[in-house]
């Protein structure tokens, strides 16, 4: 059984495609090759690749704070084609920022006997940081590669990296 996994956070059309409802900008596009290489590595060595997929109902309360995005079943909700899941990869749909809120992620990691997790994706200061917080609160060893995360806001991005490293204890590389 593997003890390591890769979590790919919200690499979805609405965040990463120029036509997406909440496009994160060129920095989100720039991390695609790095994430693709990490996915390929994890698949090659037989460690799990877990996608977190922001998944909202049409009338989600989150749309009071953000434009409508990632509505389940729409183009914007889909994982970008460049990083499409392969057979054996796992997709966990989530309704909120953290990958743990009302999802099976915690049980899944426990069942798989995972202890070390690398986290990549968007947005560094929102879903990535909240998911990393959930991981370290559950005593996982977490690595966040700078080359694998992006945000709408460069200042929030830097703050989130600093907070995840200094407060959460994640290894920022």
* Ranges 3-7, 45-49, 64-68: which has the least confidence: 64-68
35-41, long-range: CB < 8 A, 24+ apart: 35/8, 35/11, 35/83, 35/120, 35/121, 35/148, 36/82, 36/83, 38/6, 38/118, 38/120, 38/145, 38/148, 39/6, 39/8, 39/83
Query: Is residue 1 over pLDDT 80?
Result: no
Query: Is residue 2 over pLDDT 80?
Result: no
Task: Domain count for the chain, please give it.
Answer: 1
Kindly report the CATH number assigned to the domain that includes residue 153. Answer: 3.40.50.850
Read off the pLDDT band of 42 (50, 70, 90).
Answer: very high
Read off the pLDDT band of 62 (50, 70, 90).
Answer: confident
Query: Is residue 167 over pLDDT 70?
Result: yes
Question: Which residue range forms the structural domain that includes residue 20?
Answer: 4-172
Mean pLDDT of 43-64: 94
């Amino acid at each position: 059984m593997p003890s390591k996994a890769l979590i790919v956070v919200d690499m979805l059309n609405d965040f990463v495609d120029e036509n997406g409802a909440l496009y994160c900008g060129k920095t989100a596009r720039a991390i695609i090759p790095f994430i693709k290489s990490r996915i390929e590595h994890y698949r090659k060595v037989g460690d799990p690749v877990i996608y977190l997929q922001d998944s909202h109902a049409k009338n989600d309360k989150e749309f009071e704070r953000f434009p409508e995005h990632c509505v389940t079943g729409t183009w914007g909700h889909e994982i970008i084609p460049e990083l499409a899941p392969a057979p054996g990869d796992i997709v966990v749909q989530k309704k909120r920022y953290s990958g743990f809120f009302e999802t099976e992620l915690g049980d899944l990691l426990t069942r798989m006997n995972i202890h070390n997790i690398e986290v990549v994706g968007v947005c560094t200061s929102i879903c990535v940081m909240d998911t990393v917080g959930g991981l370290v609160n559950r005593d996982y060893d977490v690595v966040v590669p700078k080359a694998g995360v992006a945000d709408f806001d460069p200042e929030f991005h830097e703050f989130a990296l600093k907070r995840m490293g200094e407060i959460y204890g994640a290894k920022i590389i």
